[in-house]
Structure 1
Amino acid sequence: MPSLAFFVSATVLFAQSTVAFNCSTKPVYVDIHKRAVHDSPVFQYGSFIGVGTGETASATSAQNHSLWPSLSQNYMSFGAHSYCQKSTLSKCADSTGGFYSSNQSTTFIEYKDFKTLDADSNNTLEGYFGQDTLRLYTHFFETDGASQTLVENSTIEVATSGAIVPGRVGMGPSSTLLQDLAGREMIAGKTYSLYIGQGFDRAGGKVNGSNVFGGYDSGRFTGIPHQYPMNINNVNPMSVRIKDIVITNTMSGTNQSLFDTKDFPDMKSAPQTFEAQITTEQFPLSLPYQITQNFIKALNGQKDNYWGDNSLKLAQNHNATLSIVLEDGFTVTFPPEVLRNASNITPIQNRDEDDNTPFLLGSAFLGQVYLMADYDSNNFFLAEAVQKNNMVMPVTFCPKSTPEAYERPKQNQWQSQGLIGAVIGGVIGGLGCIGALYCLYVSWLRKSDERRLKRDLARNEAAKLEQMDVEPAPSFEGPPTKSVKEKVMFWKKG
């Protein structure tokens, strides 16, 4: 029988493994969609986050922005008003996510001689650092008001020049926002989930996205999530290995693998599985040169740079899907409207033969999957995204646990096919019809009785009139002609 010391030590170990994370802490949900941003005349797509405090110290005095999620950057960054003067960003004035004025915030404090953690990660932003109050807005529906989560004295970067969108949510492995939230016990741990959506111009869709700090939206994905280890040595720490890419003709149902040497004899041997890094820094996918050439041959693709990202264009109207098969069997499928948009532009980027940069799965990939990252265990999860989610269900993502998708109540065959409702509806409808017919029958009986009663009364009246004979008036003798005395005398004489 185990000793008391055994139970005490086991209890202590269990307590040590659970006390570190308060998994009852609710997550912070921040939506992603187009909205008005500070000092910009256009609506911009991004995460609804404010920064700074005005003289009134209220939410209305904050400078609200639409920040683009970044899986490599570690800092929250905001574009200064001078950013577009030196930037090479296309349509810069309408693409910054808003403009930030540090001198208009009473809570901003600039850091001197600050050394950034992003210096060795191909960061293209330049500027200065400091601390300010962040306002994470929880805004479930566009028609509803937003609530805010204040993160005071949080490190931010004020970008003054660069080639990318400066307004960014830094969600890299050393994210200062996650450290602030988890360190202040505002979330359960350094966990984060992202659905980037398709409501921005390059994607050309209407589905909005979301961030969940310390949690995930259980209604945003389906199936069992697939787990992968992070490689924190990469600029983009989340990477997967791809073993096949298949094009499926939606009309004929035929499949064509871009790895098949029979369909593409230019390849001397079948390609090996390759690693691709997941990123939000670009929209298209950058695949190995030979795979890209096979894609061009399979769909008659051609070079194009309409969006400035070297995405390929299809010469003909192909109706097909593209499926990326990961090493563990998880398959991500691009539907026809994503593989070829209204302008025939694809989410596949052209690649030169001597290009030695990492292979990338851009925002087009994240538009089809739900990503959940656990920076406490350096693991992340991918699952099939639910594109149109009518319910927002953020739940806590406890570190070192596996997220679970929301399961709708199970229904038997009668329920799933609506037969119970049909039967109940039929029964209720039948009873209603019977009740209505009964009421009509009762009403008819009443009217029939009334008519019968009127007829009976009429007959009785007629019968009574027939039985009533008029009797003639009786005849009476006239008054006597002689007096009584004379009569008496008469009787005496006789």
Structure 2
Amino acid sequence: MGALCLQVLGPKAGLAMFCINIVAQYAVELGCIIAGSRVIYAYSRDGALPGSRWWKQVNSYTKTPVNALWFDLGINALLGLLMFASPVAIGAVFSIGAIAQYVAFTIPIALRLTAAKNQFKPGPWNLGRWSKPCGYIACGWVVFIIPVLCFPATKGADLNALNMNYTCVVYGGVMSCALLWYAIDARKWFKGPKINVEHLIHGQDVEDIEEIMISFAGFRAASCLSTISTILLLVSAHTSLAASFSSHWSRDMPLVQTSLAKRAKNTTTIPAPIVVAPSQYWDGIDGPWSSFALQVGTPAQNVRVQISTASTFTWTINDQGCPPGYVNDCTNSRGFIFQTNKSLTWVPNSVFNFDFETNLGMDTNGNTGFDTATLGWQGAGGPNVPHSIVFNVGSTTYWLGGFGLNPRPTNFSTFVDPQPSFMQQLKTNNTIPSISYGYTAGNQYRNSKVFGSLVLGGYDQNRFAATNVSFPFYEDISRDLLVNIQAVSTDKSLASNNLLPGGTIQAFVDSTVPTMLLPIDACQAFEAAFGLQYNEALNMYLVNDTLRQTLLNTNPSVTFTLSPNSSSGGETVNIELPYGAFDLTLNYPYITSPNTSYYFPLQRAANYTQYTLGRVFLQEAYLIADYDRQNFTIAPCVWDQSLLANADIKSIISPGTVLPNSGGSSFPAGAIAGVVVGIVVVIAALAAILFFLRRRKTTEKRRAAELEAKEGEGHAKHSSENESKPFISNPIGGELGGGEIHELTAPHKPFAQEMESPHKIDPNKAGYSEMESGEYFGPGKGFAHEVQGSGPAIFEMPGSDVHEMPAHEQRQGLK
């Protein structure tokens, strides 16, 4: 956002707009804090969170849950520290927002469709008969989208620690801990949300509603999950806003640009490599060669170009390259013309020399400028650079235009104002994962023609056989792709099989040049081996039809043994070229008499600076150049048709994002720090949960002991009070419960009954005495006793038949 404001509006207006954005984000964060603290308070009031008795407290002065507010801020501040550790760690927190929202909002819908489907009563506004179908659709969508949200954005070999989607780990880990906590402890005391208002909509009292909810299967566990999901949603929102504040904040423009550049360099989302499709054309007057499509200018003008591993810029052919009557279908032969006057975005500079291939005498000049360049045909969605360096030339030094892969800046006059290359701008714009590429020229003699292959920021693993041999860049940056040729040999020769009699040489790998340039003694060895004749005027080996047919029949192959070591031995890689790789054609205007001829793409080098392995060599070799690590790889191509039809693109990650491999495995230091911080937070949270659980158990035990002590005191008190109350023994069969006799209120007070018994009742005694054989077993006056008579059975009459008279009336009646 900051970079966009600066680029579109300029420094002052961009900063003003940026300030407005900061104020808006601050307001949004305040809303999130308020919502988060109220949610924490609500769940704490229900006892759903560890330490609920603290978080549910309301400040007596502000009448707000201040403790819940500080708890909310503290948790989010700790999680916000993860952005200083690693974008992977903070990205994992951001990723849980969507899933947490879906789960929190869908659990009530699922309960309404399952456990509460018979008890649910709709409110004043509802969906009516569409309520259940919408609910099923919502639940089905969530079941589908949650796994989708857990998938990483990349797959296969491109998937690494930085672009992995950790949503399933973070969210699944928290949910697992919540369910484990519920299974171990919370299910014993958590009864679901506490209802403190009368549910008139349901038409039932609060107590009835609570009993219904508790009876729902899984209701409390679902409430627990919904609680955690809602809190995770709010945490994700808080932390993402806090991270956006810190990433935007700066003191001045240079610091803003530096911060944005670092963020782009270490972004969590690593761009995928770009596969540049070939044009499907075979072009050139010294080939044919597989070309690539390029769009230049606005509106876009299509041209076809060759790949140049040595060039730092792009060049196209102008109108002067095709004068009238020059070559039949000249425009198409030269890959089309770029007309600068028809481009609305062309920014002219001046006329400059290429300052390129000067050691080979292939330097030229042209009108230079800047314009929009896009790789690929229109509509293909290829990489685009708006301010790309373009040379517009008309000479025949290069028959087709060229696209430079070298990322070095271009200097038109001095080193004061170097202009960035196409590759460098792609990396700066975070369009490719690194400044690297994989390239092979393709050929017409394998599998009925195989087009060239170009991958920016990676390579196609199915195009070559791995060798594990790496070449360091040469110290001369203009000849960085320098290899040691330890040997050149052939399997069929008219003379010696050794085609490099002078021993090891250093040669520059350069796809700009179609041929190979080798020492004179090596060229003479080729002449002897294949019967070639040198054309000194053209510095070429022309091949007549007879010699060509002989070589096609014998089909000799040439093997180049390459090594990163200048001395013999050590690691080597062999690149074998069949004769078909050398069976090429020269055309007018390169050759005039005749206008066309077969030729062997070998030239004599004037000195060691001209030793070159050109495009002909890259027909059978796959080149991987990694400018971030300053090394390259050359491997033999493979020609399995099934592999060629299914590209296996691998990324080359910049070391600024991922540390170089050490000991076979690597992990970003920032990610390690983020994981450590995350582990510390998790351990602290678990420790807090265990502490609260232990404290709760201790409190429950203390309360149980206090209740037991009170019950003991109560029994003792009742025993002392029972001494002055009537006592009835338990007869066999258990007529009474053996408990205390309590005097009831007058309307329900049982009255004494007359008994059929031979024994007389002593009116001076307060109750009946149980007597057998004249013995008295009662404790004395003041207690009621059963009498175990030997006469007929005694039955108790209903209390409503005979009523006991008041005490003063009894005394009068006994007189």
Tell me how far 1:305 sits from its aligned partner. 8.7
Relative to 1, partners in 2 of residues 1:52 and 1:323: Cα closer, same or farther, differing over 3 Å?
same
Aligned to 1:245: 488
Higher alpha-carbon deviation: 230-239 or 70-79: 230-239
Does the Cα contact within 8 Å between 1:226 and 1:381 map onto a contact in 2?
yes
Relative to 1, partners in 2 of residues 1:349 and 1:125: Cα closer, same or farther, differing over 3 Å?
same
Alignment partners' CA distance in 2, 1:287 and 1:276: 8
Alignment partners' CA distance in 1, 2:529 and 2:435: 43
Higher alpha-carbon deviation: 225-234 or 119-128: 119-128
Aligned to 1:163: 397
Relative to 1, partners in 2 of residues 1:115 and 1:276: Cα closer, same or farther, differing over 3 Å?
closer
Tell me how far 1:115 sits from its aligned partner. 8.8
Matched, 1:136 2:381: no
Aligned to 1:189: 434
Alignment partners' CA distance in 2, 1:394 and 1:240: 25
Tell me how far 1:180 sits from its aligned partner. 0.9
Aligned to 1:227: 470
Tell me how far 1:20 sits from its aligned partner. 4.2
**Aligned length in residues:** 359
Aligned to 1:330: 573
SS in 2 for 1:111: strand
TM-score after normalising by structure 2: 0.39
Alignment partners' CA distance in 2, 1:18 and 1:195: 33
Gaps of 5+ in 2: 1-81, 89-161, 163-260, 410-420, 564-570, 587-596, 662-815
SS in 1 for 2:393: strand
Matched, 1:77 2:315: yes
Alignment partners' CA distance in 1, 2:390 and 2:431: 19
CA RMSD, Structure 1 to Structure 2 (Å): 4.3
Map residues 354-365 of structure 1 onto 2, 5 A cutoff: 357-365=609-617
Could you tell me which of 505, 521, 530 is aligned with 1:274?
Answer: 505
Higher alpha-carbon deviation: 338-347 or 127-136: 338-347
Relative to 1, partners in 2 of residues 1:92 and 1:240: Cα closer, same or farther, differing over 3 Å?
farther
Aligned to 1:52: 297
Does the Cα contact within 8 Å between 1:126 and 1:162 map onto a contact in 2?
no
TM-score after normalising by structure 1: 0.62
Q: Map Cα deviations across residues 90-127 of structure 1 (whole Å, 9 max, x no partner).
A: 99644432201112112222235889775967663322
Tell me how far 1:189 sits from its aligned partner. 1.9
- Point out 4+ residue stretches in structure 1 off by more than 4 angstroms: 14-23, 88-94, 112-123, 339-348, 354-357
- Aligned AA for 2:653? C
Q: Map Cα deviations across residues 244-289 of structure 1 (whole Å, 9 max, x no partner).
A: 1111139x9x993335xxxxxxxxxx62210011112332222211
Tell me how far 1:183 sits from its aligned partner. 0.9
Aligned to 1:409: none
Relative to 1, partners in 2 of residues 1:345 and 1:383: Cα closer, same or farther, differing over 3 Å?
same
Aligned to 1:124: 363
Matched, 1:366 2:618: yes
SS in 2 for 1:222: coil
Larger-Rg structure: 2
Aligned to 1:108: 346
Give aligned-pair identity as a percent: 22
SS in 2 for 1:179: helix
Relative to 1, partners in 2 of residues 1:348 and 1:52: Cα closer, same or farther, differing over 3 Å?
closer
Does the Cα contact within 8 Å between 1:230 and 1:237 map onto a contact in 2?
yes
Relative to 1, partners in 2 of residues 1:283 and 1:106: Cα closer, same or farther, differing over 3 Å?
same
Alignment partners' CA distance in 1, 2:423 and 2:585: 39
Matched, 1:378 2:630: yes
Aligned to 2:541: 311
Aligned to 2:277: 31
Aligned to 1:397: 652
Relative to 1, partners in 2 of residues 1:336 and 1:110: Cα closer, same or farther, differing over 3 Å?
closer
Does the Cα contact within 8 Å between 1:79 and 1:96 map onto a contact in 2?
yes
Aligned to 1:468: none
Map residues 86-97 of structure 1 onto 2, 5 A cutoff: 93-97=331-335
Aligned to 2:388: 154
Higher relative CO (Cα under 8 Å, sequence separation at least 6) belongs to 1
Does the Cα contact within 8 Å between 2:303 and 2:335 map onto a contact in 1?
yes
Alignment partners' CA distance in 2, 1:399 and 1:151: 20
Does the Cα contact within 8 Å between 2:506 and 2:611 map onto a contact in 1?
yes
The answer to which structure has the higher helix fraction is 2
Aligned to 1:172: 406
Tell me how far 1:297 sits from its aligned partner. 1.5
